[in-house]
Structure 1
Amino acid sequence: MLTVAAVLMTSVAGCTLPRGAAMEHEILREQDAQTPSFVHYQVDAALLPAVQHWPAGSGADPVRGWPKGGAGAPGQILARGDMVKLAIWESGENKLLTTPDAPTAALQPSQVSAGGSIFVPYVGPVKVAGLSPEAARQKIQDQVSGMIPSAQVQLEATPGSGNSVDLVGGVAHPGRMPLMDRSLTVLGLISQGGGPSATIENPQVRLMRGGRAYRIAMQRLLDDPALDTGLRPGDKVSVEKDRRYFLALGAAGKQQLINFPKEDLTAIEAVTMAGGINAGRANPKGVLILREYPAAAVRADGKGGPSQQRVVFTMDLTSTDGLFSAQNFTIQPKDLVLATESPLNNTRTVLSLIGSVFGIANTAQNATE
């Protein structure tokens, strides 16, 4: 019996037992090479302040940031492409545009030209772009009064395509919205569209303006009213799902791509989302986070950035410092969270195999007696 066990242990020692993940020392063995291809850091209280000031990793979303500036003044502002309707009232005996039976003259609608003007009969082009409807009305009346002292002018303006914003998608009612009020903000526009779709988790707001794209989590807009920027003509707004993700592999509960459920995600939350550490397989002292940085982020002295592009962070979830540090270490998009295999797993496998052999041998011995 002992001979069989010895033969089995010799056979096991000479081969690699089946595993679902690498061991920590297998991942880190190259760090002692003369020219390692990565740099290794232990996640602890001493590391956290430095890492917080490092540039973002290669997986970070390049479309972030948010334009500053609050909402505009309440009311409409005329712009090129708007349609303007004029009505002129006359009193007294000498009338130029009206008759005694019809004291008002409704002029044909006029579109604000590319130069910002509309044509007024007997006056000529009058520049109205950039004015409120009331200011434009008063300007036209002042010029008409030079010929018709008793004239009173009414003005009605409808925003055109150049004085509108587009609510592209991710809401109940997308479409083009005229800027009837320059105090309209991003959240106000989304509200006009019926709010974000209920199926979008951690909705992100994308704003396209002047050839640039911006993105921010809707929750940040709700939490900080100062970020609820005012809209400008031509802006395009959409609500979309958070496309950021991290990868969970190894001896964890899940091995899959996991989307960010909120704006900021800590390492301990990522481990929890990955199903936690498998008690029978994983090494709680060897939870690794693999991240790649752009070349511009590398610092030869390791200050202000990693000393190499490829970085392996190690977390020890068996110590108080390790757990607290994991709660404050921020996961970045496309990080790989790897739960390494416990060294004890091989021992358990060997003992299990030996136990099976002894069981088979005992069964055979009992059968021959």
Structure 2
Amino acid sequence: MMTWAAAGLSVLALTACSVPRGSALSSEILSEQNSDAPSYQVVSVTRDNVAELTAWPVTGWKGEYKWLANPRGPQSQLIRTGDVVSVVVWDNQDNSLLSNGVSKQASLPPMVVSATGMIFMPYVGEVEIRNLTQPAARAKIQEAMTEVAPEAQVQLAVQQGAGNAADLVGGVSAPGSYPLPSRNYSILSLIAAGGGIRPGLENPLVRLLRGGHVYEIRAEQLMADPNLNTILRGGDKVVVAEDDRFFTALGATGREEVVPFTRESLTAMEALSTVGGLSDSRADLKSVLVLRDYPVDDTVPTPEGADYSAKGPLQEQVVFAFDLTSADGLFAARKFEINPKDTVLGTETVVTSARTVLGLIGSVVGVTNAVNNLAE
């Protein structure tokens, strides 16, 4: 009956090399660097070259968020194009051109501030009032009236037009168009007026659209620094959306999944921590890999036979390798930045495959012994 055990051992000996694994072996990937015509580049990351690698072209996004400073506006509202202005002229002269003998005031029809910033005053002509506060505009109109009505007094009222509103497009409880009550109205005030950032948004990003330009910042960063709470302008559009940057964790990592960026930048060490580190029983700490794709325009020519360039990648596909069993590799992983769409791969140690084979052998031997015992 021992032929059962012998047969089992023979089968396992033939199939041990193809036992299913949870991840690739480092030798299967890194051996490409020894090829005469490698299809991808392999770079070992160390403290000596990590600064140079950080200077390589950024992939997956722009590399940083572009945001505006926070200039303080005037304390009073400014008149803008599109605002509606109502003017009342008081004149007690008997022969006034504006008032009649019964009433000493003349109420002019509401006027829209033109694209050039002007309004039209009878007997005076156009008067520019854009970018003036309401008191300054009233004084300027009254001064212009002195030629036709030296003793006239002007009363001015301003109603905000569409140019003095900002649109809160999405990502909040109550999106819509909101008037700007003052020139000191900030982006956080607008978000608060819209009911705040909608619950459930993962890693929200605040996006400001102004004059054909797009500015972005992480919501947590905006709320943490008062100097970033920029002042809005009429016509601004604000969108709150999820940060769509991600990297992929595979192999002998704590979790295999698509992982969103939890901050503006992540190092290789932080990325591993985000997914629960490496598997103690499976991971090959000498070969933790980061896989990255570069546009062909970002590759750099190098002398034939070179396997590294400080200026950029030699090929479109690059594998960055870390040895986390050494202090050199650990410090390098703390400074190497992960790019969006990178793949962090925990390779599997050869010992794990051996354990799998031995476990299967042990199972077969155990079953064979049980069969032998029953036969006896």
* Common fold: TM-score over 0.5: yes
**CA–CA distance in 2 between the matches of 1:195 and 1:250?**
39
Query: Does residue 1:358 correspond to 2:365, yes or no?
Result: yes
| Aligned residue identity for 1:7 | S
SS at match of 1:87: strand
1:201-233: per-residue Cα shift (whole Å, max 9, x none)?
Answer: 322111112222221212333444444333333
Residue equivalent to 1:24 = 26
**CA–CA distance in 1 between the matches of 2:193 and 2:296?**
44
Query: Does residue 1:335 correspond to 2:338, yes or no?
Result: no
SS at match of 2:338: coil
In the alignment of these two chains, the number of paired residues is 367
TM-score (norm 2): 0.88
Residue equivalent to 2:13 = 10
1:18-64: per-residue Cα shift (whole Å, max 9, x none)?
Answer: 1122111112221211221222222321222112222201x125894
Structure 1 position 269, deviation (Å): 2.3
Contact 1:71–1:185 (CA<8 Å) still a contact in 2? Answer: no
Structure 1 position 319, deviation (Å): 2.6
| Aligned residue identity for 1:348 | R
SS at match of 1:168: strand
How do 1:136-151 residues align onto structure 2 when only pairs under 5 Å count? 136-151=137-152
Residue equivalent to 2:125 = 124
SS at match of 2:182: coil
Residue equivalent to 2:305 = none
Identity level (%): 44
**CA–CA distance in 2 between the matches of 1:38 and 1:71?**
52
**CA–CA distance in 1 between the matches of 2:175 and 2:122?**
40
Contact 2:53–2:310 (CA<8 Å) still a contact in 1? Answer: no
Which blocks of at least 5 consecutive residues in structure 2 are unaligned?
303-308
SS at match of 1:296: helix
**CA–CA distance in 2 between the matches of 1:275 and 1:313?**
20
For the structure 1 residues 214 and 132, does the alpha-carbon distance in structure 2 shift closer, same or farther, using more than 3 Å as the test? same
For the structure 1 residues 310 and 221, does the alpha-carbon distance in structure 2 shift closer, same or farther, using more than 3 Å as the test? same
Residue equivalent to 1:135 = 136
| Aligned residue identity for 2:74 | A
**CA–CA distance in 1 between the matches of 2:285 and 2:102?**
93
For the structure 1 residues 220 and 300, does the alpha-carbon distance in structure 2 shift closer, same or farther, using more than 3 Å as the test? farther
Structure 1 position 96, deviation (Å): 4.2
| Aligned residue identity for 1:325 | A
RMSD of aligned C-alpha atoms? 2.5
Structure 1 position 267, deviation (Å): 1.6
Residue equivalent to 2:38 = 36
**CA–CA distance in 2 between the matches of 1:357 and 1:176?**
72
**CA–CA distance in 2 between the matches of 1:43 and 1:191?**
45
How do 1:1-369 residues align onto structure 2 when only pairs under 5 Å count? 1=2, 3-4=6-7, 6-13=9-16, 15-57=17-59, 59-61=60-62, 64-68=65-69, 70-91=71-92, 93-98=94-99, 102-301=103-302, 302-369=309-376
**CA–CA distance in 2 between the matches of 1:155 and 1:192?**
29
**CA–CA distance in 2 between the matches of 1:309 and 1:232?**
43
**CA–CA distance in 2 between the matches of 1:294 and 1:136?**
56
Residue equivalent to 2:306 = none
Contact 2:281–2:352 (CA<8 Å) still a contact in 1? Answer: yes
**CA–CA distance in 2 between the matches of 1:141 and 1:161?**
27
Structure 1 position 4, deviation (Å): 3.9
| Aligned residue identity for 1:202 | N
SS at match of 1:119: strand
**CA–CA distance in 1 between the matches of 2:224 and 2:91?**
54
Contact 1:84–1:109 (CA<8 Å) still a contact in 2? Answer: yes
Contact 1:79–1:112 (CA<8 Å) still a contact in 2? Answer: yes
